[in-house]
Structure 1
Protein backbone atom coordinates (compact mmCIF):
# COMPACT_ATOMS: atom_id res chain seq x y z
CA UNK A 1 0.00 0.00 0.00
CA UNK A 2 0.98 3.66 -0.44
CA UNK A 3 3.22 4.38 2.55
CA UNK A 4 2.51 8.12 2.30
CA UNK A 5 -1.16 7.69 3.14
CA UNK A 6 -2.62 7.76 6.61
CA UNK A 7 -3.27 4.38 8.21
CA UNK A 8 -6.77 3.07 7.39
CA UNK A 9 -8.37 3.78 10.77
CA UNK A 10 -6.76 7.24 10.94
CA UNK A 11 -7.92 8.05 7.41
CA UNK A 12 -11.44 6.78 8.11
CA UNK A 13 -11.69 8.67 11.41
CA UNK A 14 -10.51 11.87 9.74
CA UNK A 15 -12.99 11.35 6.91
CA UNK A 16 -15.87 11.06 9.39
CA UNK A 17 -14.82 14.11 11.39
CA UNK A 18 -14.52 16.21 8.23
CA UNK A 19 -17.56 14.97 6.31
CA UNK A 20 -20.02 13.61 8.88
CA UNK A 21 -19.26 15.46 12.12
CA UNK A 22 -22.87 15.25 13.31
CA UNK A 23 -23.46 11.57 12.60
CA UNK A 24 -24.64 9.28 15.41
CA UNK A 25 -22.38 6.38 14.43
CA UNK A 26 -19.78 5.22 11.91
CA UNK A 27 -17.96 1.98 11.19
CA UNK A 28 -14.94 1.01 9.10
CA UNK A 29 -15.57 -2.32 7.37
CA UNK A 30 -14.45 -4.41 4.41
CA UNK A 31 -11.22 -6.16 3.46
CA UNK A 32 -9.00 -3.87 5.53
CA UNK A 33 -10.83 -4.84 8.72
CA UNK A 34 -10.66 -8.53 7.79
CA UNK A 35 -6.90 -8.35 7.14
CA UNK A 36 -7.41 -9.14 3.44
CA UNK A 37 -6.44 -5.77 1.97
CA UNK A 38 -4.60 -5.46 -1.35
CA UNK A 39 -2.99 -2.54 -3.15
CA UNK A 40 -6.36 -1.61 -4.66
CA UNK A 41 -8.50 -2.04 -1.54
CA UNK A 42 -10.74 0.85 -0.55
CA UNK A 43 -12.18 2.01 2.76
CA UNK A 44 -15.74 0.77 3.26
CA UNK A 45 -17.42 3.09 5.74
CA UNK A 46 -20.97 2.78 7.08
CA UNK A 47 -22.46 5.96 8.53
CA UNK A 48 -25.66 6.41 10.57
CA UNK A 49 -27.40 9.80 10.73
CA UNK A 50 -30.59 10.05 12.73
CA UNK A 51 -32.39 12.71 10.66
CA UNK A 52 -31.16 11.64 7.21
CA UNK A 53 -34.14 11.85 4.76
CA UNK A 54 -33.03 8.89 2.64
CA UNK A 55 -30.07 6.53 2.49
CA UNK A 56 -27.41 6.71 -0.19
CA UNK A 57 -24.08 5.30 -1.32
CA UNK A 58 -21.17 7.33 -2.63
CA UNK A 59 -17.69 6.63 -4.03
CA UNK A 60 -14.90 9.17 -3.71
CA UNK A 61 -11.18 9.62 -3.09
CA UNK A 62 -9.91 11.41 -0.01
CA UNK A 63 -6.27 11.77 1.08
CA UNK A 64 -5.17 9.10 -1.40
CA UNK A 65 -7.78 6.58 -0.27
CA UNK A 66 -10.64 5.33 -2.45
CA UNK A 67 -13.68 5.36 -0.17
CA UNK A 68 -17.08 3.66 -0.46
CA UNK A 69 -19.46 5.27 2.01
CA UNK A 70 -22.87 3.80 2.85
CA UNK A 71 -25.05 6.35 4.63
CA UNK A 72 -28.22 5.36 6.50
CA UNK A 73 -30.64 6.76 9.00
CA UNK A 74 -31.63 4.69 12.02
CA UNK A 75 -34.28 2.69 10.15
CA UNK A 76 -33.26 2.60 6.46
CA UNK A 77 -30.60 -0.03 7.08
CA UNK A 78 -33.31 -2.51 8.11
CA UNK A 79 -34.72 -2.83 4.59
CA UNK A 80 -31.19 -3.51 3.30
CA UNK A 81 -30.69 -6.16 5.98
CA UNK A 82 -33.94 -7.76 4.84
CA UNK A 83 -33.18 -7.65 1.10
CA UNK A 84 -29.62 -8.90 1.66
CA UNK A 85 -31.02 -11.79 3.68
CA UNK A 86 -33.53 -12.69 0.97
CA UNK A 87 -30.87 -12.78 -1.74
CA UNK A 88 -28.59 -14.71 0.68
CA UNK A 89 -25.72 -12.23 0.30
CA UNK A 90 -25.49 -10.30 3.58
CA UNK A 91 -23.32 -7.44 2.34
CA UNK A 92 -24.48 -4.68 4.68
CA UNK A 93 -25.06 -6.94 7.72
CA UNK A 94 -21.54 -8.31 7.33
CA UNK A 95 -20.02 -4.84 7.12
CA UNK A 96 -21.91 -3.72 10.21
CA UNK A 97 -21.22 -6.87 12.23
CA UNK A 98 -17.48 -6.88 11.44
CA UNK A 99 -16.97 -3.12 11.45
CA UNK A 100 -14.55 -1.22 13.65
CA UNK A 101 -16.31 1.60 15.45
CA UNK A 102 -15.10 5.06 14.41
CA UNK A 103 -17.79 7.01 16.24
CA UNK A 104 -20.73 5.98 18.41
CA UNK A 105 -23.31 8.00 20.29
CA UNK A 106 -24.86 4.90 21.82
CA UNK A 107 -26.62 3.45 18.77
CA UNK A 108 -24.22 0.88 17.35
CA UNK A 109 -24.42 -1.88 19.95
CA UNK A 110 -28.00 -2.81 19.09
CA UNK A 111 -27.44 -2.45 15.32
CA UNK A 112 -24.33 -4.64 15.40
CA UNK A 113 -26.17 -7.26 17.47
CA UNK A 114 -29.00 -7.22 14.93
CA UNK A 115 -26.53 -7.73 12.08
CA UNK A 116 -24.66 -10.50 13.89
CA UNK A 117 -27.86 -12.38 14.69
CA UNK A 118 -28.99 -12.19 11.08
CA UNK A 119 -25.68 -13.69 9.91
CA UNK A 120 -25.80 -16.44 12.54
CA UNK A 121 -29.37 -17.35 11.53
CA UNK A 122 -28.32 -17.96 7.94
CA UNK A 123 -30.49 -17.59 4.83
CA UNK A 124 -34.01 -18.96 4.42
CA UNK A 125 -34.46 -22.66 3.70
CA UNK A 126 -35.04 -23.43 0.03
CA UNK A 127 -38.38 -25.04 -0.78
CA UNK A 128 -38.56 -28.30 -2.72
CA UNK A 129 -39.85 -26.36 -5.73
CA UNK A 130 -36.87 -24.01 -5.62
CA UNK A 131 -34.44 -26.93 -5.31
CA UNK A 132 -36.01 -28.59 -8.36
CA UNK A 133 -35.83 -25.37 -10.38
CA UNK A 134 -32.14 -25.02 -9.51
CA UNK A 135 -31.53 -28.71 -10.34
CA UNK A 136 -33.05 -28.12 -13.75
CA UNK A 137 -30.90 -25.09 -14.52
CA UNK A 138 -27.74 -26.88 -13.40
CA UNK A 139 -28.71 -29.88 -15.56
CA UNK A 140 -29.30 -27.58 -18.53
CA UNK A 141 -25.91 -25.89 -18.13
CA UNK A 142 -24.22 -29.24 -17.52
CA UNK A 143 -25.67 -30.72 -20.70
CA UNK A 144 -24.48 -27.69 -22.67
CA UNK A 145 -21.03 -28.02 -21.08
CA UNK A 146 -20.74 -31.74 -21.82
CA UNK A 147 -21.98 -31.43 -25.38
CA UNK A 148 -20.11 -28.32 -26.43
CA UNK A 149 -17.21 -28.62 -28.87
CA UNK A 150 -16.62 -24.86 -28.94
CA UNK A 151 -13.89 -23.89 -26.47
CA UNK A 152 -14.89 -20.23 -26.42
CA UNK A 153 -18.51 -21.05 -25.54
CA UNK A 154 -17.44 -23.71 -23.04
CA UNK A 155 -15.52 -21.15 -20.97
CA UNK A 156 -18.64 -19.10 -20.37
CA UNK A 157 -20.78 -22.16 -19.75
CA UNK A 158 -18.21 -23.22 -17.13
CA UNK A 159 -18.52 -19.78 -15.49
CA UNK A 160 -22.29 -20.24 -15.28
CA UNK A 161 -21.87 -23.73 -13.85
CA UNK A 162 -19.49 -22.45 -11.18
CA UNK A 163 -22.05 -19.91 -10.02
CA UNK A 164 -25.00 -22.32 -10.15
CA UNK A 165 -23.24 -25.20 -8.41
CA UNK A 166 -21.72 -23.03 -5.69
CA UNK A 167 -25.10 -21.43 -5.04
CA UNK A 168 -26.79 -24.84 -4.86
CA UNK A 169 -24.37 -26.42 -2.39
CA UNK A 170 -24.38 -23.35 -0.16
CA UNK A 171 -28.12 -22.71 -0.14
CA UNK A 172 -29.07 -26.35 0.40
CA UNK A 173 -26.80 -26.24 3.44
CA UNK A 174 -28.26 -22.92 4.62
CA UNK A 175 -25.07 -20.98 4.05
CA UNK A 176 -24.63 -17.49 2.65
CA UNK A 177 -23.58 -17.23 -0.99
CA UNK A 178 -21.31 -14.84 -2.86
CA UNK A 179 -20.35 -13.55 -6.29
CA UNK A 180 -16.96 -13.01 -7.89
CA UNK A 181 -14.21 -13.50 -5.27
CA UNK A 182 -16.88 -14.12 -2.65
CA UNK A 183 -17.84 -17.44 -4.26
CA UNK A 184 -14.63 -19.08 -3.07
CA UNK A 185 -14.73 -17.30 0.28
CA UNK A 186 -18.28 -18.50 0.89
CA UNK A 187 -17.32 -22.06 -0.08
CA UNK A 188 -14.34 -21.96 2.28
CA UNK A 189 -16.58 -20.82 5.11
CA UNK A 190 -18.87 -23.76 4.36
CA UNK A 191 -16.30 -26.53 3.85
CA UNK A 192 -12.64 -25.94 3.11
CA UNK A 193 -12.09 -29.41 1.62
CA UNK A 194 -15.02 -29.02 -0.76
CA UNK A 195 -13.78 -25.55 -1.69
CA UNK A 196 -10.37 -26.94 -2.64
CA UNK A 197 -11.97 -29.68 -4.76
CA UNK A 198 -14.25 -27.14 -6.42
CA UNK A 199 -11.37 -24.80 -7.31
CA UNK A 200 -9.20 -27.69 -8.47
CA UNK A 201 -11.95 -28.96 -10.80
CA UNK A 202 -12.48 -25.63 -12.52
CA UNK A 203 -8.78 -24.76 -12.56
CA UNK A 204 -8.05 -28.06 -14.31
CA UNK A 205 -10.74 -27.36 -16.90
CA UNK A 206 -9.54 -23.82 -17.61
CA UNK A 207 -5.94 -25.00 -17.95
CA UNK A 208 -6.38 -28.24 -19.86
CA UNK A 209 -9.95 -28.46 -21.12
CA UNK A 210 -10.56 -31.58 -19.00
CA UNK A 211 -14.25 -31.44 -18.02
CA UNK A 212 -14.49 -34.59 -15.92
CA UNK A 213 -13.91 -33.13 -12.46
CA UNK A 214 -16.34 -30.29 -13.06
CA UNK A 215 -18.98 -32.78 -14.18
CA UNK A 216 -18.29 -35.02 -11.18
CA UNK A 217 -18.60 -32.14 -8.72
CA UNK A 218 -21.90 -31.02 -10.23
CA UNK A 219 -23.30 -34.55 -10.11
CA UNK A 220 -22.11 -35.07 -6.53
CA UNK A 221 -23.82 -31.86 -5.42
CA UNK A 222 -27.09 -32.82 -7.13
CA UNK A 223 -27.12 -36.50 -6.12
CA UNK A 224 -28.61 -36.12 -2.58
CA UNK A 225 -31.53 -34.21 -4.11
CA UNK A 226 -32.32 -36.64 -6.91
CA UNK A 227 -29.54 -35.89 -9.38
CA UNK A 228 -29.99 -34.17 -12.71
CA UNK A 229 -33.50 -33.07 -13.60
CA UNK A 230 -34.95 -32.68 -17.09
CA UNK A 231 -37.70 -35.19 -17.87
CA UNK A 232 -41.02 -34.03 -16.44
CA UNK A 233 -39.83 -30.64 -15.22
CA UNK A 234 -42.24 -27.74 -15.78
CA UNK A 235 -42.85 -24.18 -14.58
CA UNK A 236 -46.27 -22.56 -14.53
CA UNK A 237 -48.18 -25.50 -15.97
Structure 2
Protein backbone atom coordinates (compact mmCIF):
# COMPACT_ATOMS: atom_id res chain seq x y z
CA UNK A 1 0.00 0.00 0.00
CA UNK A 2 1.40 3.37 -1.05
CA UNK A 3 1.69 6.08 1.55
CA UNK A 4 -0.32 9.27 1.22
CA UNK A 5 1.05 12.09 -0.90
CA UNK A 6 2.78 14.83 1.12
CA UNK A 7 -0.11 17.30 1.13
CA UNK A 8 -2.76 14.76 2.13
CA UNK A 9 -0.48 13.33 4.81
CA UNK A 10 0.21 16.80 6.19
CA UNK A 11 -3.48 17.67 6.25
CA UNK A 12 -4.34 14.50 8.13
CA UNK A 13 -1.45 15.01 10.51
CA UNK A 14 -2.63 18.51 11.43
CA UNK A 15 -6.25 17.40 11.75
CA UNK A 16 -5.23 14.55 14.07
CA UNK A 17 -2.56 16.18 16.22
CA UNK A 18 -3.62 19.85 16.15
CA UNK A 19 -7.40 19.84 15.56
CA UNK A 20 -7.95 23.26 17.13
CA UNK A 21 -4.98 25.10 15.62
CA UNK A 22 -5.50 28.47 13.98
CA UNK A 23 -3.27 27.84 10.99
CA UNK A 24 -0.82 25.41 9.43
CA UNK A 25 1.68 25.44 6.57
CA UNK A 26 3.48 22.62 4.78
CA UNK A 27 7.03 23.47 3.67
CA UNK A 28 10.20 21.68 2.61
CA UNK A 29 11.63 19.66 -0.24
CA UNK A 30 8.44 17.72 -0.97
CA UNK A 31 6.81 20.96 -2.13
CA UNK A 32 9.83 22.06 -4.18
CA UNK A 33 9.99 18.79 -6.09
CA UNK A 34 13.37 17.99 -4.51
CA UNK A 35 12.29 15.15 -2.24
CA UNK A 36 14.47 12.07 -1.77
CA UNK A 37 13.75 8.71 -0.14
CA UNK A 38 14.75 10.16 3.23
CA UNK A 39 12.89 13.47 2.96
CA UNK A 40 10.48 14.42 5.72
CA UNK A 41 7.52 16.77 5.93
CA UNK A 42 8.11 20.18 7.49
CA UNK A 43 4.92 21.46 9.05
CA UNK A 44 4.54 24.85 10.74
CA UNK A 45 1.56 25.07 13.10
CA UNK A 46 0.08 28.21 14.66
CA UNK A 47 -1.89 27.73 17.87
CA UNK A 48 -3.07 30.83 19.73
CA UNK A 49 -3.49 28.82 22.96
CA UNK A 50 0.14 27.68 23.04
CA UNK A 51 2.29 29.16 25.80
CA UNK A 52 5.73 28.35 24.34
CA UNK A 53 7.02 27.49 20.89
CA UNK A 54 8.47 24.04 20.37
CA UNK A 55 9.76 21.66 17.72
CA UNK A 56 9.08 17.94 17.55
CA UNK A 57 10.04 15.04 15.27
CA UNK A 58 7.76 12.04 14.83
CA UNK A 59 6.46 9.52 12.33
CA UNK A 60 2.81 9.67 11.31
CA UNK A 61 0.87 8.44 8.29
CA UNK A 62 4.05 6.64 7.15
CA UNK A 63 5.97 9.93 6.90
CA UNK A 64 8.76 11.32 9.07
CA UNK A 65 7.46 14.72 10.15
CA UNK A 66 9.14 17.72 11.75
CA UNK A 67 6.60 20.07 13.25
CA UNK A 68 7.36 23.63 14.34
CA UNK A 69 4.63 24.87 16.67
CA UNK A 70 4.13 28.57 17.41
CA UNK A 71 1.65 31.03 18.81
CA UNK A 72 1.10 34.43 17.22
CA UNK A 73 3.88 36.06 19.25
CA UNK A 74 6.57 33.40 19.25
CA UNK A 75 6.89 33.20 15.48
CA UNK A 76 7.81 36.91 15.41
CA UNK A 77 10.62 36.27 17.91
CA UNK A 78 11.93 33.43 15.75
CA UNK A 79 11.67 35.55 12.60
CA UNK A 80 13.77 38.19 14.35
CA UNK A 81 16.41 35.81 15.71
CA UNK A 82 16.70 33.93 12.42
CA UNK A 83 17.23 37.17 10.54
CA UNK A 84 19.76 38.43 13.08
CA UNK A 85 21.96 35.37 12.47
CA UNK A 86 21.28 35.67 8.70
CA UNK A 87 19.82 32.14 8.54
CA UNK A 88 16.10 32.67 7.93
CA UNK A 89 14.90 29.10 8.47
CA UNK A 90 11.39 29.86 9.70
CA UNK A 91 10.74 32.84 7.39
CA UNK A 92 11.80 30.71 4.43
CA UNK A 93 9.51 27.83 5.41
CA UNK A 94 6.56 30.16 5.89
CA UNK A 95 7.25 32.14 2.73
CA UNK A 96 7.56 29.10 0.46
CA UNK A 97 5.01 26.91 2.22
CA UNK A 98 1.54 25.75 1.23
CA UNK A 99 -1.26 26.89 3.53
CA UNK A 100 -3.13 23.89 4.93
CA UNK A 101 -5.37 25.67 7.45
CA UNK A 102 -6.10 29.39 7.66
CA UNK A 103 -8.07 31.33 10.23
CA UNK A 104 -7.49 34.50 8.24
CA UNK A 105 -3.95 35.32 9.36
CA UNK A 106 -1.80 33.03 7.23
CA UNK A 107 -1.57 35.20 4.13
CA UNK A 108 -0.47 38.12 6.28
CA UNK A 109 2.21 36.04 8.00
CA UNK A 110 3.44 34.78 4.63
CA UNK A 111 3.72 38.37 3.36
CA UNK A 112 5.61 39.28 6.53
CA UNK A 113 8.11 36.46 5.86
CA UNK A 114 8.46 37.42 2.19
CA UNK A 115 9.20 41.04 3.12
CA UNK A 116 11.92 39.98 5.53
CA UNK A 117 13.51 37.68 2.96
CA UNK A 118 13.41 40.34 0.26
CA UNK A 119 15.04 42.92 2.54
CA UNK A 120 18.03 40.68 3.19
CA UNK A 121 20.20 40.43 6.31
CA UNK A 122 21.76 43.33 8.15
CA UNK A 123 24.70 44.82 6.29
CA UNK A 124 28.14 43.92 7.60
CA UNK A 125 30.17 46.82 8.97
CA UNK A 126 33.77 47.43 7.98
CA UNK A 127 34.71 46.00 11.37
CA UNK A 128 32.78 42.81 10.55
CA UNK A 129 34.57 42.50 7.22
CA UNK A 130 37.98 43.08 8.82
CA UNK A 131 37.28 40.43 11.45
CA UNK A 132 36.20 37.85 8.87
CA UNK A 133 39.18 38.63 6.64
CA UNK A 134 41.43 37.94 9.61
CA UNK A 135 39.70 34.63 10.44
CA UNK A 136 39.87 33.48 6.82
CA UNK A 137 43.55 34.44 6.62
CA UNK A 138 44.26 32.48 9.80
CA UNK A 139 42.54 29.35 8.53
CA UNK A 140 44.10 29.73 5.08
CA UNK A 141 47.59 29.87 6.63
CA UNK A 142 46.78 26.70 8.60
CA UNK A 143 45.62 25.06 5.39
CA UNK A 144 48.80 25.98 3.51
CA UNK A 145 51.20 24.95 6.25
CA UNK A 146 49.53 21.80 7.53
CA UNK A 147 50.95 18.41 6.53
CA UNK A 148 48.44 16.07 8.17
CA UNK A 149 45.92 14.80 5.61
CA UNK A 150 43.23 14.07 8.20
CA UNK A 151 43.55 17.56 9.67
CA UNK A 152 43.55 19.06 6.18
CA UNK A 153 40.02 17.76 5.62
CA UNK A 154 38.66 19.59 8.64
CA UNK A 155 40.61 22.78 7.89
CA UNK A 156 39.28 22.75 4.32
CA UNK A 157 35.73 22.36 5.61
CA UNK A 158 36.14 25.37 7.90
CA UNK A 159 37.69 27.40 5.09
CA UNK A 160 34.86 26.54 2.69
CA UNK A 161 32.22 27.67 5.17
CA UNK A 162 34.02 30.90 6.05
CA UNK A 163 34.56 31.89 2.42
CA UNK A 164 30.96 31.08 1.49
CA UNK A 165 29.66 33.14 4.39
CA UNK A 166 32.00 36.00 3.47
CA UNK A 167 30.77 36.20 -0.12
CA UNK A 168 27.12 36.07 0.89
CA UNK A 169 27.24 38.50 3.79
CA UNK A 170 29.39 41.11 2.04
CA UNK A 171 26.67 41.13 -0.62
CA UNK A 172 23.79 41.21 1.89
CA UNK A 173 22.58 37.72 1.06
CA UNK A 174 21.22 35.09 3.42
CA UNK A 175 23.45 32.22 4.53
CA UNK A 176 22.59 28.69 5.52
CA UNK A 177 24.06 25.43 6.74
CA UNK A 178 24.82 22.17 4.98
CA UNK A 179 23.05 21.97 1.59
CA UNK A 180 21.39 25.35 2.20
CA UNK A 181 24.77 27.07 2.17
CA UNK A 182 25.49 25.68 -1.30
CA UNK A 183 22.02 26.63 -2.48
CA UNK A 184 22.50 30.15 -1.18
CA UNK A 185 25.80 30.78 -2.98
CA UNK A 186 24.48 29.12 -6.14
CA UNK A 187 21.46 31.41 -6.14
CA UNK A 188 23.70 34.44 -5.67
CA UNK A 189 26.44 33.68 -8.22
CA UNK A 190 26.43 30.42 -10.15
CA UNK A 191 29.79 31.04 -11.84
CA UNK A 192 31.54 31.72 -8.53
CA UNK A 193 29.86 28.64 -7.05
CA UNK A 194 30.96 26.42 -9.92
CA UNK A 195 34.57 27.51 -9.40
CA UNK A 196 34.21 27.08 -5.64
CA UNK A 197 32.97 23.50 -6.05
CA UNK A 198 35.64 22.68 -8.63
CA UNK A 199 38.65 23.83 -6.59
CA UNK A 200 37.52 22.17 -3.37
CA UNK A 201 36.58 19.00 -5.22
CA UNK A 202 40.09 18.91 -6.69
CA UNK A 203 41.57 19.23 -3.21
CA UNK A 204 39.36 16.48 -1.73
CA UNK A 205 40.22 14.12 -4.59
CA UNK A 206 43.92 14.82 -4.99
CA UNK A 207 45.11 16.72 -1.91
CA UNK A 208 46.37 19.53 -4.18
CA UNK A 209 45.90 22.87 -2.37
CA UNK A 210 47.10 25.51 -4.82
CA UNK A 211 43.75 26.03 -6.56
CA UNK A 212 41.93 26.49 -3.26
CA UNK A 213 44.53 28.98 -2.03
CA UNK A 214 44.35 31.03 -5.23
CA UNK A 215 40.53 30.99 -5.18
CA UNK A 216 40.32 32.19 -1.57
CA UNK A 217 42.88 34.94 -2.13
CA UNK A 218 41.03 36.09 -5.25
CA UNK A 219 37.77 36.21 -3.27
CA UNK A 220 39.34 38.40 -0.56
CA UNK A 221 41.14 40.70 -2.98
CA UNK A 222 38.32 43.24 -3.57
CA UNK A 223 38.13 43.76 0.20
CA UNK A 224 41.85 44.24 0.78
CA UNK A 225 43.09 40.66 0.56
CA UNK A 226 44.56 38.75 3.45
CA UNK A 227 44.70 40.41 6.84
CA UNK A 228 47.16 39.66 9.63
CA UNK A 229 49.60 42.45 10.42
CA UNK A 230 47.96 45.34 12.23
CA UNK A 231 44.77 43.49 13.12
CA UNK A 232 43.68 44.02 16.73
CA UNK A 233 40.58 42.98 18.64
CA UNK A 234 39.52 44.53 21.96
CA UNK A 235 42.57 46.78 22.18
CA UNK A 236 41.80 50.06 23.92
CA UNK A 237 43.25 53.35 22.77
CA UNK A 238 45.99 54.70 25.09
How many angstroms apart in 1 are the aligned matches of 2:180 and 2:214? 23
What residue number does 1:108 align with? 106
**Match of residue 48, structure 1, among 46, 49, 56:** 46
The number of residue pairs the alignment matches comes to 235
Displacement of 1:55: 0.8
Displacement of 1:143: 0.3
How many angstroms apart in 1 are the aligned matches of 2:2 and 2:218? 50
Query: Which SS does the other structure have where 1:125 is aligned?
Result: coil
How many angstroms apart in 2 are the aligned matches of 1:196 and 1:133? 26
**Match of residue 153, structure 2, among 138, 155, 172:** 155
What residue number does 1:65 align with? 63
Displacement of 1:222: 0.7
5+ residue gaps, structure 2, are none
Displacement of 1:164: 0.3
How many angstroms apart in 1 are the aligned matches of 2:182 and 2:221? 22
5+ residue gaps, structure 1, are none
Displacement of 1:64: 1.3
Aligned pairs for 1:19-30 (under 5 A) are 19-30=17-28
How many angstroms apart in 1 are the aligned matches of 2:210 and 2:112? 44
What residue number does 1:199 align with? 197
How many angstroms apart in 1 are the aligned matches of 2:208 and 2:180? 25
Query: Which SS does the other structure have where 1:207 is aligned?
Result: helix
How many angstroms apart in 2 are the aligned matches of 1:235 and 1:35? 46
TM-score by length of 1: 0.97
* Larger deviation, residues 127-136 vs 212-221: 212-221
Runs of 4+ in structure 1 displaced over 2 angstroms?
none
What residue number does 1:166 align with? 164
